[in-house]
Structure 1
Amino acid sequence: MAHLRKRAFRGGKSSAQKKVERKRRLANRKRRIQHRLRDIEWEHQPRPMFSASNIKYDLADKARGLA
C-alpha cells in the first residue's frame, strides 16, 4: 500500500483571509493616491520642474499609471 505523506506546507489562504488582504491592499492604494494628490505649496521655480518633451505613459493594473 502507498504510504501517505504529510504535506510540508499549508494550503492556500481562506476566503476570509483573502478578503482582509484585498481590503488592506485597496486601503493602502487609496492612501497613496490621496498622498500624491495633496495640495502642496511649491516655492517659485525659475524654470520648469519637468523639462522632458518625450514623456511616455503606460497603464498598469486597472488604475495605476507608470511614467
Structure 2
Amino acid sequence: MNNGVVKFFNDQKGFGFIKEANSDQDYFVHVSGLMDDIRENDEVTFDLQEGRKGLNAVNVKRA
C-alpha cells in the first residue's frame, strides 16, 4: 500500500493524478480505481497496477 496526495482530479472526466509521498512520482488514477470519492489535496492510500501507459493508482482510499 502506497501513500500520497491527490494532485488533481476531474469529476466530470473521471480521472486525475496522485503524487506519491516521499517521492516526486505522479500516478494516473481513473474513477474505476477509486474505493472512496476523492478531491484535490486529499491524503490517500493506493496500490499500483500496470496500465496501458505505465503504472496506475488503483484501490484508492482516503487515508
Same fold (TM over 0.5): no
Greater relative contact order, per chain length (Cα 8 Å cut-off, separation 6+): 2
TM-score of the aligned structures, taking structure 1 as reference length: 0.19
Which is higher, the Rg of structure 1 or of structure 2? 1
TM-score of the aligned structures, taking structure 2 as reference length: 0.19
| Structure holding more strand per residue | 2
